[in-house]
Structure formats: structure tokens, C-alpha cells
Amino acid sequence: MGAHEVDRGGEPLAGLAVSARASLLRVIEASGAFDADPRWREAFANVPRHLFVPYYYVGGVGGVSGSGGYERRWGESPDPRTRERWVRGAYEDVPLATRLRDGVLVSSSSQPSLMALMLAELRVEDGSRVLEIGAGTGYNAALLSYRLGDGNVTTVDLDAEITESARRHLADAGYRPTVVTGDGARGVPERAPFDRIIATCTLTSIPRVWLTQCVPGALILAPLATGLIALTVRDAGQAEGRFLHTPAYFVPLRGSPPCGSERAEPEPVALAGVPRRARESELFHFLLALTRDTLEPQEAFALWEREGRPGRERFGITVGVEHAWAWLDEPEGPYAWPLPGSFDTGLVEP
């Protein structure tokens, strides 16, 4: 256990937390998440996830009063079997539901292997200044702080309850990055400039103000259209990059529930006339999400078939001074679409 780690359930759970964390580390390694940057292995080996989820909810349990069908697992439960289930569950490679409102799940701790993949793909260097959009439980900020130092990490969330609990969890684990309550879409100008921005909530477009808070050459990594876009910032008015191959589902940056929850699906669209193989394909639904309000599903299907059912990594995004668009294969190729809210809909030439 780390020097700042606290055993919330008594001495017998201390050894269990260590062994459970070692098992999680093996799962993450097997997933290949550390391949892009193996140095993140040390962070995951030393930052205790259970300190950031003092309680969480397990779904599929009927009749739990006041929790919408979720069972609450609590690290300070008087039942030793519940405490053991709590610590084991804290180190499973799954997202953990951590906040309910009126019986509805609104926040969670992300799947550790996905977190590891995103952090590795962030390509940080020693001394990199990072802005995290979406504080969540504080676990991701702790991993960043372990790698880069508290002074180089800023995390922001719109929900004061979330930032308060994240700050408390971070302090319990011995980390003190800057935690800000505010609108992540506006960035955190008083802490700029940043070398990296990482978002843990789905975007429909890239806030241009983020570019103005980045140094040239900075990287922005964010969920968009059920994928992860990695943008290189050229200057305050332009950024460009491609999607990673992996799927990623988070709730939107704006609105309720707040940033940090998992598995927000795009709004359904009518798929009449689209063959079943496309309706059941995650990659086709990614294309639909990326071109929503621009291509009809039948048009998207024709494109998808014609281009050999392309994976996420063939798509990219360009953010310009006035417009932002998504594209297939090349920014100036034959296929480009405006990002929602960027400019008029319709197939466009960049």
C-alpha cells in the first residue's frame, strides 16, 4: 500500500487491497493499455482506487429502497462480508457507479483499462501541464499527479458536490492537484497554458477556447461520437487529429447528468431500410453519431459499405478558426462533414 493509503475496513482488508490491485494491474497490462506509455504502470500500481470509491452501487438488484434497484457497497459497512465485496469490487476492471440522484445513475468511476489507455495515449512528458475536464472521483487526477506532480495537474467539474468529494478523496490519498468548480467547456484560463487536455465526458464539438489555453503542439484527447479523438494543437485557431481505434461511452459535457458518468448512448435514429448487419454494428453507429444531422442513415450506410466498413481510426477532425469538420481518411479528401454546431449542415469541402 502507498504511504498515504488508508485502510477503511480494518487490517485484514489491507492485504486484500494490495492483492486485488495487483490483479487489476495484470488485467490492464493484458489489455495492452500501457503499450503506448509503460510508465503509467507504476501510477496504477501505487494509486489506491478504493480510496476514491468509499462507496459505490452495483446494478441489477431489485427492490432496493431509494436506490433505483442498485445495491450500495460501503467500505465502512458493519458487515465484514460487505466490506470485503467492496474492496474486491473496487479493483475490478469495470466502471463503478458512484452517484445517484432520484434513483438515476449520474456519475461513476471509469473502467481502469480505458483510463490507462487514455492516459497512455495522452503522451505526457515530465513537466507536462494537464487540464482534466470532468473531476469524477478524483482517481484520474491522482494518477496524473503521481506521474507529473500536483502542481502540473488541474481538474474541473461543473458540479460542486463532485469537486468537493474529489478534493477530499485526493487529500485522503495524499495528492493535492488544483480542483476547480466551473464549466469545463470554458477551460480554466487562470491555470493556462496547458500542454495536454483530457476530457472524460462526451463532446459534440471541440470548444475553441481550449485551443487558446494550449501551447502550440499540445494534445487534446476527448470522447466524441462514441470514439476518442486525439487532436494536435497547431496554434490558438487550429487543431487536427484522428480517432483512436477504441470505443468510448461517457455522458455529455453539458447538461444533466454531469460530466464523469459512463455509457451515455447517442439519441436513437430511425434505421428503416438499413440492413441488419449495419444496425448491429458498433462502427456503423459511430459513423451515424459522427455525421448526425448531416447524412441520412441510408446515405451513411451506402458510404460505410462503399468504403469497406471503415474503423474509427480512419476518421479524423479538423478544428479551424471558423469551422470544424470531421473527415474520412484525409482532411481534404472527398468525405467531410461539419461537426454539430460548427456550421451549416450538408456534405462540405473543407
Give me the active site residues, please: 107
Distance separating alpha carbons of residues 56 and 167, to the nearest angstrom: 17
- Cell numbers linked to 318: 479538423
> Residues 77, 86: contact at Cβ < 8 Å?
yes
> Directed axis angle between helix 282-290 and helix 297-306, to 10°?
120
User: Computed from CA positions of residues 317, 134, 128, 187, in that sequence, does the dihedral angle turn out positive or negative?
Assistant: positive
Residue among 203, 248, 261, 213 nearest 233 (CA): 213
- Cell numbers linked to 210: 481550449
Residue among 105, 73, 107 nearest 90 (CA): 73
> Residues 138, 52: contact at Cβ < 8 Å?
yes
Residue among 257, 226, 296, 259 nearest 135 (CA): 259
- Bond from prior residue into 252 cis (ω within 30 degrees of 0): no
- Bridge partners of residue 327, in order along the sequence: 316, 336
**Cα 106–68–269 angle (5° rounding)?**
60
Distance separating alpha carbons of residues 259 and 204, to the nearest angstrom: 13
